[in-house]
Amino acid sequence: MKVKKWMRDAHMYVGLLTSLIVLMLSITGFLMNDHKAAWTPGNEQQSMSGRKPAGGAGGLGIAEAVQKGVESGAYKAEDIRSVFNMGGIYRIATTKNGQFLVGQDGKVTPFAEENKGASQTIKQLHKGFFLGYDIRWLLDIGAVGLVILTGTGVYLYIKMLMMKMKKWTRVKGQAA
């Protein structure tokens, strides 16, 4: 009988601790997923001004590299997440179409990552994409569901604890 009670208590406390960790991960995942305004102070857009060369020596600049890709139909300007200058070759990451390389000659080529297969699928799922579709809204629903489940679980645990306390004080009061 004692083993059964010990196991039930261990299950309850480990479950409570785990649910609090899941709560923390759900909230932070929800905020970081697509809601940068909730946790980024100030303007999340970064810009550069002045007379700084954005491209190579007299070569293609960042704006021109981005424009070449848009003109070629490889991606839309609003889908761009980041642009990296890799010594005159620009690596442009988009939210929907993957990544592209734009050389100094203006040629746009898809950037093929080496590790395709299961690891790539897992990476895409983690970022909120499945088979090329944006499923971040589904991850948001899952996060909200986990927050609700954790909140109700903690509430039920506290309610059960209060009932045990009432029963214990009642039994203790009758014994006196």
The DSSP annotation for the chain comes to -HHHHHHHHHHHHHHHHHHHHHHHHHHHHHHHHH-HHHHS-S-------SS---SSTTS--HHHHHHHHHHHTS--GGGEEEEEESSS-EEEEESSS-EEEE-TT--EEE---S--SHHHHHHHHHHTEETTEE-HHHHHHHHHHHHHHHHHHHHHHHHHHHHHHHHHHHHHHHH-
Q: What pLDDT is stored for residue 170 in this prediction?
A: 79
Query: How many CB atoms within 10 Å of residue 76?
Result: 13
Residue with tokens 């954790």: 150
Q: What pLDDT is stored for residue 155 in this prediction?
A: 92
Q: What pLDDT is stored for residue 46 in this prediction?
A: 52
Distance CA 72, CA 105 (A): 13
As a whole-number percent, the residues of the chain with pLDDT over 70 amount to: 80
- pLDDT of residue 52 exceeding 50: no
Q: What pLDDT is stored for residue 115 in this prediction?
A: 55
Of the spans 1-15, 46-60, 140-154, which averages the highest pLDDT?
140-154
Distance CA 134, CA 94 (A): 12
pLDDT band for position 175 (50/70/90)?
low
> How many Cα atoms are found within 13 Å in the side-chain-facing hemisphere of 23?
14
pLDDT band for position 41 (50/70/90)?
low
- Name the nearest CA neighbour of 89 among 106, 76, 77, 71: 106
- pLDDT of residue 105 exceeding 60: yes
Mean pLDDT taken over the chain: 78
- pLDDT of residue 114 exceeding 70: no
